[in-house]
A and B are shown apart, each in its own frame.
Chain A
Amino acid sequence: MNEILLITLAALATAGRVLGLILISIVTGWFLAYAAIKGKIFENIYISIIEVFESVPVISFFPIVLIIFVTRIGGPLGVEMAADFLVFTAVVWNIWMGEYQAFKTVPREMLEVAENYQMSFFTKMRRIFIPFSYPRIAANLFPSVSDGFFYITVSEVFSVGVHTYQTFGIGTVLDSLAASDKTGLIYMALLILAFVIIIIILGLREFSRYAVSRYTVDTDAPIIRRGRLNVKQTTRLLSVVARNPLSRLAGYYRSRVMSRPPEVFEKREMRREKISRYSSIAIGFTILGLIIYSSTDLIISVSHNEWNHLFSITPKILLYLLYDYARVGVILALSFVIAIFLGYYLAMHSRAEGIGVPIIQTLSAYPPPIYFPFIFGASFTAIHSVLGPFTDEFYVLALGFVSTFYYIFYSFWMGVKALPSEYFEVMKNLNMGYFRRMRSIILPGTFPYLISGISSTINSAWGGLMIGEYWPDIIPGRNLSVHYGLMKFIDIETNVGNIAMAAWGSFLFGIVVAIYSIIFTRRMMDLARKRYVAEEGVFAA
């Protein structure tokens, strides 16, 4: 087959895989979100699961994915499903969370209209819930596409022991082109992938604009408030609700409705409510049961000796994790500093923003594992002459940086854009200097956005480390490898086929990250919600 055509088809296959999985996430998310708003028990289980998985980097799923799909299902289907599942776990959480938040915030009046006209489930979904979720889906598509492309290119080709598994896509094609040293075609492949990504980004921008202009409801209407909401996407909405006199009226109205005796409800209504409640309880318990069953099954299937060995290696794993946290800290600090300078500059200069933001959006979706070996090849000699033994460490940090910088940049940039215009007038009026503005207004005002950006940046930094800490033959004849690091440990154990050890490393990693998330991220989010919601500073009751 013509090689250019092959490359084009491979790029389209990769893009199709990412977009297809995003579509699946969107569609499944609608039904799950509906089930969540209808039943408290399911809602609690569903949201807790999303919150935990959202905070655990997708890369920690890798060994589990390999066990389930490659060794148990096997064949091309198993490999395809392994790659797809990995990407699915990368894109799904924020989309599901966004849809849940959208369904939770449908204006009460709209729901009353639906009840009034006795709309069926599908009419309600089609006419109210799904359209209402479009703006939030649009907001979550950019990070999902970036994550999807990042992981698809590493999961299209992977090795376990002596076996190499691959599925058709741009990752596989680039791998075979690199192996046969066809440099011209490699550049062509990079160019074609860039073209495909630009088309997707332009499409997403257009969809985003359309979704916001057509489906954003004037938030003067009161909205339902219950359950947990993500500060990142709801600060403006919540502040409007909090200061809106209509919502207070709605509050009185709600309490009156609640105090009505149940006899007023028609029997049919009550039966429907009951069915809906019991089904959501059943779904919730089924999910919980499955998790408990599979965990127990796994624990029993591992021998006593194996457990002993795994426990004995645990202190070493934790030390490696410490090294990796130090790397994540460096990447985060660098990303933070650049993000706040660049983000503020672009938010303040509309012309630069018009050019800069689409470029950054495209770059963020362009997967670093694809282009990084070429940067490495081109710069290695020069960097090595300066950094000597720290060269590999430098490249690992650089890969972590390019994999993750965008998240904190976006969050901060969005935060600055969302600051009330009155704040900018006050800053101008008081003749505030740059650093005073940053310290007193901009950084505190964007604090909720920064926390969510920092959290995403940390999660994605792990992905960069997973790839960079142990990258055999990054360019022909040269490996990229650090001395110590948990990601390297997991990489090597996976490569030699020691799945139990890799899974144990991933498991410990997942637990530490989840604890960190609960202790640090959630506390910071609570603090942000309590004090740093800029819109609450502008009182217009």
Chain B
Amino acid sequence: MDEDLIKDNAMQRARAAQYVLSAVGIDFSYENGYKVFEDVNIDVGQNEFVAIVGPSGIGKSTLLRILGGFLKPDKGAVYLFGKQIKRPTPDIILIHQSIVTFPWLTALENVMLSLKVRNVSDEEAEKAARNALETVGLQGFEDLYPKEMSGGMRQRVAIARALAASPLVFLMDEPFAHLDELTAEGLRQDIYNILFSPDTPLKGVVLVSHNLTEVVELADEIYVLNNVPATVVGKVHVDLPRPRNPRSEEFNQILDALYNYLTPPKVRKI
């Protein structure tokens, strides 16, 4: 291998080791040759809530799947505490836009699923699953089947299942998109406290959304994707006290900054 390349890789790894999750120089094309990303860089610091926004169809969900190791980038790499991610791992859990539960399992069994794969004993798995359900506010609903639950409750089950896997990073793909506004608002208010409660080993969260208010309400750092192929066109740091007031002037100033970045995408000749 070329000596410069080895040196570059070592430097990349050393830099990435400072972050919980780090995507470096990501290029990606679909099978039909359409180039989605060019040189995308994302960093998630310790206990940081990072959001990715961008116009519809820009590739936000695709980027999330690259961060989780579900898709392999054409160029660049994703690192978890400096270790390259080459395939999906329970250390990085993806929460889907379409809420995924298993209808033949109760809420408790759904959550226990992520513990059983770690060869935990049944008693321990049940105890941990009950704790996870309690964390997301579903105590008393353990024996309900997903079909007997509302959308918001099902998403809580999915989050509890993810938490029970003791991940280091959460990747959330528009997790409130399929919920009605009242339920979504309730869950948004709870989510930050749930995710970074002392009971979870979670070190970072990446949220993809097209709802800018939601993003400003939750995130510490916001990456804005735009253009074709997509790149990071802006990064906004949100340093507002929590809980955040969407009617405050500072909140709206950040919203305005995001809108400015999200002008119609420019198609670059490549």
- Told that A423-B102, A532-B104 touch, could you supply 6 new A-B pairs with CB distance under 8 A? A425-B94, A429-B68, A429-B94, A444-B105, A531-B145, A534-B103
Say whether B117 contacts A430, CB under 8 Å: yes
Q: Return chain A residues, CB-CB under 8 Å to B154.
A: 539
Measured CA separation A55–B104 after assembly (Å): 27
- A425 to B70, alpha carbons, bound, how many Å? 8
Q: Which of A423, A428, A431 contacts B100 (CB 8 A)?
A: A423
Question: In the bound complex, do residue A447 and residue B104 qualify as a contact, i.e. CB atoms below 8 Å apart?
Answer: yes
Q: List 30 A-B contacts (CB under 8 A).
A: A422-B100, A423-B100, A425-B94, A426-B94, A428-B88, A429-B68, A429-B88, A429-B92, A430-B113, A431-B89, A431-B90, A432-B117, A440-B105, A441-B102, A444-B102, A444-B104, A445-B102, A447-B104, A531-B104, A532-B103, A536-B147, A537-B146, A538-B100, A539-B101, A539-B151, A539-B178, A540-B97, A540-B98, A540-B178, A541-B151
> When the two chains form their complex, are residues A430 and B90 in contact, meaning their CB atoms are under 8 A apart?
yes
Using CB atoms and an 8 Å cutoff, list the residues of chain B in contact with chain A: 65, 68, 70, 87-90, 92-94, 96-105, 113-114, 116-117, 145-147, 151, 154-155, 165, 178
Query: Chain B's interface: helix, strand, loop or mixed, by majority?
Result: loop
- Report B164 CB to chain A, min CB distance, Å: 10
Give the chain A neighbours of B116 by CB distance below 8 A.
436, 440
For B97, list chain A residues within 8 Å (CB). Answer: 540
In the complex, per-residue mask of A434-468: 1 if CB is within 8 Å of any chain B CB, else 0: 00100011001101000000000000000000000
Assess whether A66 is interfacial by the CB under 8 Å rule: no
Complex contacts, A436 vs chain B, CB 8 Å: 116-117
Smallest CB separation, B57 vs chain A (Å): 18
**Given the contacts A428-B70, A429-B68, A540-B178, A533 and B103 also touching, CB distance less than 8 Å:** yes
Docked-complex contact A430 and B165, CB < 8 angstroms:
yes
Q: What residues on B are CB-neighbors of A477 within 8 Å?
A: none
Nearest chain-B residue to A532 (Cβ)?
B104
Cβ contact of A431, chosen from B88, B98, B104, cutoff 8 A? B88
Q: How far is the CB of B266 from chain A (nearest CB, A)?
A: 32
Q: B114 to A430, Cβ gap below 8 A?
A: yes
Q: Is the CB of B90 within 8 A of A425?
A: no
Bound-complex Cα distance A197 to B147 (A): 45
Write out the residue numbers on chain A whose beta carbons fall within 8 Å of the beta carbon of B165.
Answer: 430
Q: Which residues of B contact A531 (CB under 8 A)?
A: 103-104, 145, 147
Q: Which chain B positions have C-beta within 8 A of A497?
A: none
Q: How far is the CA of A425 from the CA of B117 in the complex (A)?
A: 15
Q: A420 in the interface, Cβ–Cβ < 8 Å?
A: yes
A538 to chain B: which residues have CB within 8 Å? 96, 98-100
Task: Check B96–A425 contact: CB distance below 8 A.
Answer: yes
Judging by beta carbons under 8 Å apart, are A537 and B89 in contact? no
Contact residues of A between 129 and 180, Cβ < 8 Å to B: none
Q: A539 near B98 (CB under 8 angstroms)?
A: yes
Give the distance in Å from the alpha carbon of A440 to the alpha carbon of B102 in the complex.
9
* C-alpha spacing A535/B112, complex, angstroms: 21
- Cβ contacts under 8 Å, B113 to chain A: 430, 440
**Which B residues touch A541, using CB under 8 A?**
151, 178
Interface size for A (C-beta < 8 A) is: 27
Binary B-proximity of A512-535 (CB < 8 A = 1, otherwise 0) = 000000000000000000011110
**How distant is A248 from chain B, measured CB to nearest CB, in Å?**
13
* A444 partner residues in chain B, CB cutoff 8 A: 102, 104-105
Q: Which residues of A contact B (CB under 8 A)?
A: 420, 422-423, 425-426, 428-433, 436, 440-441, 444-445, 447, 531-534, 536-541
CA A537 to CA B157, docked complex, whole Å: 12
Return chain B residues, CB-CB under 8 Å to A445.
Answer: 102, 104
How far is A510 from B250 in the complex, measured between Cα atoms in Å? Answer: 78
Q: Which of B88, B94, B98, B117 contacts A420 (CB 8 A)?
A: B98
Contacts of A429 in B (CB 8 A): 68, 70, 88-90, 92-94
Give the distance to chain A from B219, nearest Cβ to Cβ, in Å.
Answer: 23
A422 x B102 contact (CB < 8 A): no
A420 CA to B89 CA, complexed, in Å: 20
Expressed in whole angstroms, the Cα–Cα distance for A447 and B155 within the complex equals 24
Contact partner, B99, options A423, A431, A447, A539, Cβ 8 Å: A539
Q: Give every chain A residue within 8 A of B92 (Cβ-Cβ).
A: 429
Q: Which residues of A contact B101 (CB under 8 A)?
A: 537, 539
Give min CB distance, B78 to chain A, whole Å: 14
Measured between C-beta atoms, what is the minimum distance from A473 to chain B in Å? 51
In the complex, what residues of B have CB within 8 A of residue A447's CB?
Answer: 104
Docked-complex contact B117 and A540, CB < 8 angstroms = no
- For B99, list chain A residues within 8 Å (CB): 538-540
> How far is B65's CA from A436's CA once the two chains are assembled, in angstroms?
23
| B65 CB contacts on chain A under 8 angstroms | 425
- A466 and B87 CA atoms in complex are apart in Å by 52
- Complex Cα–Cα for A88 and B217 (A): 66
Instruction: Please give me the residue from chain A that is nearest to B97 by CB atom.
Output: A540
Q: How far is the CA of A537 from the CA of B103 in the complex (A)?
A: 5
Chain A residues, Cβ within 8 Å of B90: 429-431
In the bound complex, residues from chain B placing their C-beta under 8 Å from that of A428 are: 70, 87-88
> Nearest Cβ in chain A — how far from B248, in angstroms?
32
Q: Closest approach, in angstroms, between the C-beta of A496 and any C-beta of chain B? A: 51
A531 to B145, CA, bound (A): 9
In the assembled complex, which residues on chain B have CB atoms less than 8 Å from the CB atom of A534?
103
CB distance from A262 to the nearest CB of B (A): 37
Chain A to chain B: the 6 pairs with minimum beta-carbon distance, closest first: A539-B99, A428-B88, A540-B98, A444-B104, A537-B103, A422-B100
* Chain A residue nearest to B164 in the complex (CB): A430
| CA A431 to CA B104, docked complex, whole Å | 20
Inter-chain CA distance A532–B96, complex, in Å, is 20
The reply to whether A420 and B104 contact each other, CB–CB distance below 8 Å, is: no
Question: B178, A536: Cβ atoms under 8 Å?
Answer: no
CB closest residue in chain B, given A539: B99
